Amino acid sequence: MSIIQARLQPRIYLASQSPRRRELLKQIGVNFELLLLRSDPRRNIEVDETPYADEDPERYVRRVCQAKAQAGFDALKMRNLPPFPVLAADTTVTLDGKIFGKPENAEHAAVMLRQLSGREHQVFSAVAISFKEHLEVALSTSTVRFAMLDEERIRRYLLTSEYTDKAGGYGIQGHAGAFIEHLSGSYSGVMGLPLFETVQLLKHFNYPAP
């Protein structure tokens, strides 16, 4: 492919550091470039992911996802980069209405896993695209049932360090996939980027998605 052809290819920016989201976009053949917000010295483009008081999980994940997409497009303009749509995503785990964010350490992850053990929980995964004055968001909701986890099984899982930077302290695509007795919803949504909803949004922005 020539340089001119590469420039003419439709593409988007991904405002996420998640290797899982990169993998999923590659899986469906989306041409993207990374747009890392936290690497920018102008700290005002960071997104505060702290839940508001009494904010329900669905509203929370939508709000944060939209904020990430908007911050991404704002960063694009600041850096004078070529204008293409900016895609952002956010995923949260919730049990009994409580938001499970990313664990602070192994002990925090263990607390989360004990609460999820033997129970059903919900995973909300939002995806948003921002381009010029246009911003859209879509939400995927999945229900996941965990097997009973004894302390030894939790201990062994924590040794893998897979809990790091993952909502609820687990990743479905890794060792924790063996914890899941049943999934109703989107596997890719639980992984971090709901592909069906992503493709629908891309089409709204005239990206030739599969």
Annotation marks residue 74 as catalytic: no
196 neighbors 152 (Cβ within 8 angstroms): no
Largest CA distance in the chain: 57
Q: Which of 90, 96, 150, 165 is catalytic?
A: 90
Q: Which residues are catalytic?
A: 90
